[in-house]
Amino acid sequence: MRRANVRTEHEAAALVAASLRPDNTDSMTTTVDGDYVATEIERETTGGLHATVDDYVVNLTVAETVAQTAHTYRNHE
């Protein structure tokens, strides 16, 4: 079994994590620890792990962008 742990810092970590969870597969677990989102990914093969981490990073980038936009929008109301 192959594993990767991805830990990233965000101003709105809970919002980012909530945005990521619907796209998680059964091989992924996402948690929040303060300002950090931590995701553990476990796959049978290195290629499968690589593909899943790659997809996760794309989803993470989108989630962070949405969270920043929402935060900016709320502060300008």
What's the pLDDT score for residue 10? Answer: 94
Q: What confidence tier does 74 reach under pLDDT thresholds 50, 70, 90?
A: low
What is the distance between the alpha carbons of residues 30 and 41, in angstroms, rounded to a whole number? 9
Residue 35: give the domain boundaries. 2-75
Query: The domain that contains 23 carries what CATH number?
Result: 3.30.310.50
Q: What tokens does 12 get?
A: 């709105």
Q: How many domains does the chain have?
A: 1
Of 36 and 25, more confident: 36
Sorted by sequence, the CB contacts under 8 Å of residue 44 that are 6+ apart come out as 1, 2
3-class DSSP assignment, residue 77: coil
What's the pLDDT score for residue 69? Answer: 86
Predicted structure pTM score: 0.86
pLDDT higher than 90, residue 75? no
pLDDT higher than 70, residue 32? yes
